[in-house]
Structure 1
Amino acid sequence: MKVASHAADLFRHVSADKAAFYRCIMDVFAAAKRQYRLQLRPDDVLGEAEWPGPPPPLEEVNAALAQLTAWGNLESHPDMARVSSLDDYYRARFLYRLSQGGESVESALVTFVRTLQRRAELQTVALEDIANRLQALRTLAQDATEPDAAKVHETLRDLVRVFEGLAENAQAFMAGVARSIELQQAEATVVASYKRRLIDYLERFIGDLVRRSDTIARLIVALEPAIDTMLAQVAEREARDAAPGNAQGEAGAQQLYRQSWQERWKGLRGWFLSTGHEPPQAELLRARARSAIPQLLSAIATINERRSGRSDRSSDFRMLAQWFADCESDGDAHRLARAAFALHPARHFSLNADADIDLPASTSWADAPPLRIHPRLREYGEAAPRGPLPRVRDRSKERADLAQELAEQAQQLEAARRSLATGRPVKLSDLGKLDVHAFEVLLGLLGETLGEQSRPDDAVARQTGDGLLHVRLEPLGAESRAEIATPRGVFAGRDHVITVTPVREAR
């Protein structure tokens, strides 16, 4: 198994040419992880994946699984459960499961999607929860000489969780207010409705923030004399679960936990109390929420100006297009173009350096052939990147040869399967001479089927590992003999009656 050389290889399947195909496979393994299934076979992946079209061949799934293993998203192990013959032992069969890096990538992608789909909100309920948790801490600090460490730990964890959610959602909401206003500027009725809902929402949050910020600030100040002792108790309690092998020992772990809790408390304190010359974050949030209302009113004023007849750039271009349409001659159109855009009929911009057509400067733009402008010129203002161009090796011929070779092999194997999978019983002695591909297919069928026999005289039927064919094998008399001629020699043994049927027809 090849180990990914870099962590970036774990994300290569997202941007690869067959990214959708790879994601279908990884979704199956992510679902199996949630269902506590340890490993999957390729035919399990083929049957459980939600393919956008018809199911692909099993060979293509095997190739994708091997590539994901090479990138490090999956781990492969030999599948010894289905080995029933020496031929199966030497055949490459693997079980696959998510690697540690693959699990991390799936978790990161799930978090990424949730973050994109999340609608941030201003949590007025969180302010009430923060005040209640601080009041509980104050009660614990006053009721006993030494507060209960377990209750303090539980209350602090709830406090930090609620506070982090409040801070994160508030930051995301205020960052998205301006974008939401810009998106709503297209239609006056939509902006007016959004204005009313947003102003009511902001006024309700600002009023609750002003009312509760003072209570929260007084509770924080009241907890200042006892908070260091409480944080030390919580850090000591967490340090009991520190993993062994740490060079610093339990004392070092306790110091790290205590520093972490002190940083969290400092962040909570800075939200509601001023630190030095900086105002509290709650006041900054309040100011940012207030500034959203003038932005919204400005958007409404812009719409009213448009509706009152004042021109903007889009209306200017529409009027200019009408003027061009009203021009009586090309000369008038050219003069209008020069007046509007300061353009001249000279073709000296050298946009096509390798052009074979040399036109005089007096040639009209309308009469000249069109210019092919590279998209980079529109995006970056220059036609070519700076520095020497990288040398690109053309591998189209090698790719075409490889694709042709693979297609020929697939056609030959499929033709061999069709020649054997007739659905009719036939003796091995009646098969006659087989080519290399048909003989390989027959050997594979015999190897999978004979491995299921408990006794040599028993008839056996089974489905092949790839799930495509159904094989029934009935042995004839012990004295019977069958010989099959192949380009590599003669295959001989006890005669059997074999019936090979495609799975769809067997069903």
Structure 2
Amino acid sequence: MSTAPAPSSVVPSQPQPFAYLSTPNAGLYGRILGVFAQARARFTVHLRPEDVLAELRREADAPPVTIETVSAALEQLMSWGNLHADADTGRVTTVEDFHRARYLYQLTRHGQAAVAAIAAYEQALGHRGQLQAVALEDIAEQLASLLMLAREADPDPAKAHLALLGLVDRFTSLADNAEAFMASLRRTIDFQDGDEEAFIAYKDRLIGYIERFIADLANRGAQIADLLGGVDEAGVARLLTLAARREAADAVPDGEGAADESGPQQQSGSLTAATASALAGWENRWRGLTDWFISQGAHHPSQAKLLRASAVSAITNLVNTLSALNERRGGRVDRSADFRALARFFAEAPSDEDAHRLWRAAFALGPARHLSVDAETEELWAREAPAPSTSWEQAPPLRISPRLRETGSYERRGSPNRVADRSAARALLSEQAEREAAQTAAARSRLATGGPTLLSELGGPDGLDRQAFRLFLAVLGDALAARTPGEAECSATTGDGSMQVRLKLVDASKIVEVPTRDGVLSGPEHVIEILDLTALGGGA
């Protein structure tokens, strides 16, 4: 008994799974491969031509196809190496059916890779990305779990491995989405992904979205940096080694000499080649996570800091772009736009004669704005008005000032303009400056502690007045900006060199309140010392 012959197409020795992209029927081939990809997602491996045709007909707004077209396309895809065909004997009831060519098709390894590559390519093109504030919270929670595991004497390898996997997954999603979002934002500002109407419609929501992420990144970033430092101090190397050994336990041996992870080397603490390779990968991921949130000196800022700067710059670019659009829509006078419009008029001129007339109208017949006519010339023109056909040699002369001919400017006769008296305005500004300087000096004197004191005791029972409170916020911001993650003490000097503040964290869990005229300021308890450098002669 003979079996059904194989399809006429011959599978090439070198598969070409992307060849269908450059054919006239690329759309049909792509739809068929999409049917096989969806079937594989449903754990269906083999498909008959009838099954493929039924799935194609279910697509909305799809052009109709026949079974003959689908069968020919399946054979062509098999010839490129995308599909593999097996004889279909499952529904044979007669000898004639057995000898008739019936096949079951499935994706080959090359076809699966091509479908996955095209899907990843299309997803990357359409992926706009997002700023994931929730991912920051998840990363902080994962790091807190790792910190608890690192402090244990004998941490569970499974828990450590799962915590690290979850941390890397959320961090990878955060970094990739942030990069994609900033790239799509740049294209949006340049109007590469849309029109002006769409940009103006959602610019307010976009700016608010970026501002919220900047605030979350500033708050969560400091918390994540502290947790990273705590995990490093508690011994992250042990956790990375446990995760590497757990991964290496499932590695396929590469030869007879491959060491067993459960053998003597594992018991003695030495690392096999598979474990060492996995450990190097985990150490690289941990270093990338640390560099993303913690700056390495002034010349190597963290990626989180760079992302904040890019987001702030994006807001500025959005506002500038919106201003340019509003000016363009408002019909603002623009010389370059006028010249472009004139160039369009020249390009649309029906003949050379019309172009010459346009030239004379635009340039040759313009008034001589640099000339001015005096009263004598106007009187002469009124008394002896020349005819339009009078030659310029016979017409009355135009008398101009020698100063205009020499310097290009015309000085009118008469008394000069009276100089405005601005002494009253200068006196008012001087009085206002002195009053503000006195208020600032009083605020400095009010804030000067004279020695270390608790933040809760600052200002006394009456609290801080408005001027002193604003000055205090400025010096407190300078001090907190100078503090690096993990440090409890910091000091800073204001930009004008008039004050110096020193801070030391007492208890991060204890929240204190400082009453002011504008409200109540709450925060962790600190020991604070504020020095008025002007009263000390410029030195502390």
Give runs of aligned pairs for residues 236-385 of structure 1, distance below 5 A: 236-246=245-255, 248-249=258-259, 250=261, 251-275=272-296, 277-306=299-328, 307-311=330-334, 316-322=339-345, 330-333=352-355
Give runs of aligned pairs for residues 25-174 of structure 1, distance below 5 A: 25-50=32-57, 52-56=62-66, 58-82=67-91, 90-142=99-151, 144-174=152-182
Distance in 2 between residues matched to 1:217 and 1:86, nearest whole Å: 74
Q: Do the aligned partners of residues 64 and 334 (structure 1) sit closer, same or farther apart at CA in structure 2, a change above 3 Å counting?
A: farther
Taking structure 2 as the reference length, what is the TM-score of the superposition? 0.56
Amino acid of the structure 1 residue aligned with 2:113: S
Tell me the CA shift for residue 297 of structure 1.
Answer: 2.0
Paired position in structure 1 for 2:207: 199
Distance in 2 between residues matched to 1:185 and 1:111, nearest whole Å: 23
- Alpha-carbon RMSD across the aligned residues, in angstroms, is 3.0
Amino acid of the structure 2 residue aligned with 1:33: R
Deviation string, structure 1 residues 293-319 (Cα, Å, up to 9, x no partner): 221122123223322422376654434
Q: Is the 8 A contact 1:41 1:94 kept in 2?
A: yes
Amino acid of the structure 2 residue aligned with 1:254: T
Tell me the CA shift for residue 157 of structure 1.
Answer: 0.9
Amino acid of the structure 2 residue aligned with 1:309: R
Amino acid of the structure 2 residue aligned with 1:55: V
Deviation string, structure 1 residues 330-350 (Cα, Å, up to 9, x no partner): 33426868999xxxxxxxxxx
Taking structure 1 as the reference length, what is the TM-score of the superposition? 0.60
Q: Do the aligned partners of residues 254 and 330 (structure 1) sit closer, same or farther apart at CA in structure 2, a change above 3 Å counting?
A: same
Structure 2 unmatched ranges of 5 or more: 1-8, 262-271, 363-540
Amino acid of the structure 1 residue aligned with 2:222: D
Q: Do the aligned partners of residues 149 and 326 (structure 1) sit closer, same or farther apart at CA in structure 2, a change above 3 Å counting?
A: closer
Q: Do the aligned partners of residues 216 and 21 (structure 1) sit closer, same or farther apart at CA in structure 2, a change above 3 Å counting?
A: same
Paired position in structure 2 for 1:417: none
Tell me the CA shift for residue 28 of structure 1.
Answer: 2.6
Distance in 2 between residues matched to 1:25 and 1:244, nearest whole Å: 39
Q: Is the 8 A contact 2:150 2:238 kept in 1?
A: no
Q: Do the aligned partners of residues 324 and 166 (structure 1) sit closer, same or farther apart at CA in structure 2, a change above 3 Å counting?
A: closer
Tell me the CA shift for residue 34 of structure 1.
Answer: 2.5
My pick for the range that moved more, 252-261 or 102-111, is: 102-111
Q: Is the 8 A contact 2:127 2:180 kept in 1?
A: no
Q: Do the aligned partners of residues 292 and 34 (structure 1) sit closer, same or farther apart at CA in structure 2, a change above 3 Å counting?
A: same
Distance in 2 between residues matched to 1:324 and 1:36, nearest whole Å: 63
Q: Do the aligned partners of residues 337 and 22 (structure 1) sit closer, same or farther apart at CA in structure 2, a change above 3 Å counting?
A: farther
Deviation string, structure 1 residues 202-231 (Cα, Å, up to 9, x no partner): 221111111121221121112114011111
Deviation string, structure 1 residues 453-473 (Cα, Å, up to 9, x no partner): xxxxxxxxxxxxxxxxxxxxx
Tell me the CA shift for residue 245 of structure 1.
Answer: 4.1
Q: Is the 8 A contact 2:140 2:223 kept in 1?
A: yes
Amino acid of the structure 1 residue aligned with 2:21: V
My pick for the range that moved more, 123-132 or 99-108, is: 99-108
Distance in 2 between residues matched to 1:229 and 1:170, nearest whole Å: 31
Distance in 2 between residues matched to 1:191 and 1:240, nearest whole Å: 53
Amino acid of the structure 2 residue aligned with 1:278: H
User: What SS does structure 2 have at the residue aligned with 1:95?
Assistant: strand
- Count of aligned pairs between the two proteins: 335
Tell me the CA shift for residue 3 of structure 1.
Answer: 4.0
Amino acid of the structure 1 residue aligned with 2:218: V
Tell me the CA shift for residue 191 of structure 1.
Answer: 4.6
Name the % identity. Answer: 41
Higher relative contact order at CA 8 Å, sep ≥6: structure 1 or structure 2?
Answer: 1
Paired position in structure 2 for 1:15: 22
Structure 1 unmatched ranges of 5 or more: 341-507
Q: Do the aligned partners of residues 248 and 291 (structure 1) sit closer, same or farther apart at CA in structure 2, a change above 3 Å counting?
A: farther
Q: Do the aligned partners of residues 200 and 87 (structure 1) sit closer, same or farther apart at CA in structure 2, a change above 3 Å counting?
A: closer
Tell me the CA shift for residue 13 of structure 1.
Answer: 1.7
Q: Is the 8 A contact 1:185 1:299 kept in 2?
A: no
User: What SS does structure 1 have at the residue aligned with 2:250?
Assistant: coil
